Amino acid sequence: MDAKIVINNIRKGFKNLPVVDGVDLTVGDGEFVAIVGPSGCGKSTLMKMISGFEMPDQGEVLIDGQRVLRASPKGIVISQHGSVFPWLTVQQNLMFGLNEGSDAEKAALADHYADMVGLKGFEKAYPAELSGGMLKRVEIARALVVKPEILYMDEPFSALDALMNLKMRNELLRVLQEERHTVLLITHDVEEAIYLADRIMVLSPRPTKIQATFTVPHPHPRKLSLPELQQMKEDILAQLGL
């Protein structure tokens, strides 16, 4: 598997507080990597550096062999905070990032991705008319419609209730079966990481570094009740001090 993202010994601090203390990681093209760690360890800071929204104090991030100096159109961030414009319809939200093609072509593409994430029939609806889970589907469709090579996901489902969280995990996996993306997921949910990812990186407390790596050998769909995955969950929790 060719390397898509290469992280070489990146470090970051704020004033006199070291936050990220030497992280090395290679993510293959088309690989799904999850990163878990204790609260406040620096997960989001790490994601911002990898996606180009913050620069490391030391070290470097490479995408396709090129050093990251700023946020790249190759990657899109989906965060826990939401990024849907409330004054635009679902279709208009999805068309917002499209710069090429006629209005009709943009609308057709937006409707295709709305359908892909299960929003067919809601293209003309405004965000205030949608549930939390449907809003998250809009965010995912907005990210996918511009055809990014990398999805940076920072606890994207953390605000959803448990049932909707599970539905969105399955929806994401279904989409990834249709379209190839490299995915980097930050999550505090160990079961979510095991359910979705090919590899899981466990971060240490701040100043953070990768203290353990787990490879998930089972193809999708996965049953978290499998003894091997239950043991992996216990091992990851032990790494987290739980």
Q: Where are the domains of the chain?
A: 3-74+151-239, 85-147
pLDDT per position as a tens digit, 58-71: 999 999 999 999 98
241 vs 227, more confident: 227
Which residue would you say has higher pLDDT here, 66 or 156?
A: 66
Confidence (pLDDT) at 146: 83
pLDDT bracket for residue 176 (50, 70, 90): confident
CA 185, 36, 234, 8 torsion-angle sign: positive
- Using one digit for the tens of pLDDT, what is the confidence trace for 128-145? 998 888 888 888 888 888
Most confident listed range (95-99, 113-117, 205-209)? 205-209
pLDDT for the residue numbered 161 = 80
Indicate the class that CATH gives domain 3-74+151-239.
Answer: alpha beta
The Cβ of residue 9 has, within 10 Å, a number of other Cβ atoms equal to 13
